Amino acid sequence: MLAMLAGGAQASELRILTWDSYLAPELLTRFEAETGIHPVVVTAPGYPEMLARLETAEPGIDVVNPADYQMDELIRRKLVQRIGAADLPHFFDIEDAWVSRTFDPENQYAIPFLWGTSSFVVDTAVYHGNVDTLSLMYNPPPELRGKQSFIGDGSDAVVGALIYLKLPRCTTDLADLAKVETLLRPLIREARAITTITSVIDVLSSPGVAIGMSWNGDAMRARERRPTLRYAYPPHGVQLWTDLLAVAHDAPNPHAARAFLTFMLRAENAALETNFTRYANSIHGSEAQMTQALQHAPEVVVPRNVSLDFVGMCHVDVMTAQQALLRRIIDEERGGSL
């Protein structure tokens, strides 16, 4: 039984710091049934809150669920511990593209959890032209004007604006950022909605929104409610992100944390989580256990002619500055309302 840990000790609880509605309830039930360890989900609304929680001694966090671009900082600040991830059972069931990443070249700190892409969806009942162009978000035609939604969390809106303006996506040049601000201000002002991490699906499913930024899993879940939505693949490609699982630096139950990471490296568990979130995983063999809808979903199966940007994530300091710029625009144009 996985619950039996080093020295015969048995952990009774595992605290997982993650995002709201991100872990499949059935997955947590299965883990507890197999191990006897009760998982407790602790949620953070964003990366700053995740950092703050990791820096707080009580109550302790065992497993943390950061994004790939955040790992450099977590390792540098010693907020996650070296666990020898490559030695975990089933580690080499991970597909090659997702191991030995630049932030963890020796696979010591983390395993990949879920991955996805960032783009936008268009309601084809409202707009009948080509949806695979970024200009629809940043220079919308009359039928989409005032019916846009932007993600207020993170830096996706700023990164998209930099790509649209043909500027370096990791720029810190003040003149470049001023151009982004000039572009975004009227769009944010007139947008139908500014979404949070947890509201994207509901907003995209509402009839007042005809185009909206989204991550692909949320886009699929929104399309299941509103079939006329189409996920866009602009010519520049789509930015790819990865969420990871790591063990907190002062985890009170580090052996239980390793048991959870090992559990998530098994294909049947990775598939269960993908079926819940509609985000892909990186475990060989999991696709055979995914739902038929997922195996053919346009949001999940990326067209062969679309490039995936594995290296487009900027340093965490740059992305924090981009997030701050977007937050300031939202505060000033909408009174901080999301």
Q: Do 285 and 232 fall within a single domain?
A: no
pLDDT tens-digit series, residues 132-184? 999 999 999 999 999 999 999 888 899 999 999 999 988 999 999 999 999 99
pLDDT tens-digit series, residues 283-300? 999 999 999 999 889 998
Using 50, 70 and 90 to split pLDDT, how confident is the model at 217?
very high
Measured between alpha carbons, how far is residue 155 from residues 229, 231, 314, 323 in Å?
23, 19, 10, 5
Tell whether the model's pLDDT for residue 75 goes beyond 80.
Answer: yes
Lowest mean pLDDT among 44-48, 194-198, 252-256: 44-48
pLDDT tens-digit series, residues 316-329? 788 889 989 999 99
Tell whether the model's pLDDT for residue 265 goes beyond 80.
Answer: yes
Q: Do 175 and 78 fall within a single domain?
A: no
The label of the residue with tokens 């710091």 reads 17
Write down the pLDDT at residue 175.
96
Q: Do 37 and 100 fall within a single domain?
A: yes
Which has the closest alpha carbon to 159: 236, 82, 105? 236
Q: Do 12 and 149 fall within a single domain?
A: no
pLDDT tens-digit series, residues 200-210? 999 999 989 99
Residue 21 in any domain: the answer is yes
Write down the pLDDT at residue 58.
62
Residue 1 in any domain: the answer is no
Tell whether the model's pLDDT for residue 21 goes beyond 90.
Answer: no
CA–CA dist 227, 288 (Å, integer): 25
Write down the pLDDT at residue 96.
92
Task: Find residue 122's DSSP bridge partners.
Answer: 211, 230
CATH number at residue 77: 3.40.190.10
3-state secondary structure of 149: strand
Distance from chain centroid for Cα 229: 20
Q: Do 110 and 121 fall within a single domain?
A: no
Output the CA torsion 117→118→119→121 (10° steps): 80
Residue 260 in any domain: the answer is yes
Q: CA neighbours within 13 Å on the CB side: how many for 1?
A: 14
pTM for this prediction = 0.85
Q: Rounded mean pLDDT of 214-242?
A: 91
Q: Do 203 and 315 fall within a single domain?
A: yes
Residues of the chain with pLDDT > 70: what percent? 93
Residue 105 in any domain: the answer is yes
Number of domains composing the chain = 2
Lowest mean pLDDT among 42-51, 134-143, 241-250, 267-276: 42-51
Expressed as residue numbers, the domain containing 285 is 6-115+240-296
Q: In terms of pLDDT, which residue wins out, 2 or 35?
A: 35
Tell whether the model's pLDDT for residue 235 goes beyond 90.
Answer: no
Tell whether the model's pLDDT for residue 309 goes beyond 80.
Answer: no
Write down the pLDDT at residue 45.
80
Q: Do 53 and 176 fall within a single domain?
A: no
Q: Do 160 and 98 fall within a single domain?
A: no
Q: Do 79 and 194 fall within a single domain?
A: no
Which has the closest alpha carbon to 307: 233, 216, 215? 233
Q: Do 183 and 221 fall within a single domain?
A: yes
Q: Do 130 and 108 fall within a single domain?
A: no
Write down the pLDDT at residue 311.
46
Q: Do 270 and 152 fall within a single domain?
A: no
Tell whether the model's pLDDT for residue 308 goes beyond 90.
Answer: no
Q: Are 85 and 108 in contact (CB under 8 A)?
A: yes
Average model confidence (pLDDT) across the chain:
90
Tell whether the model's pLDDT for residue 3 goes beyond 50.
Answer: no
Residue 207 in any domain: the answer is yes
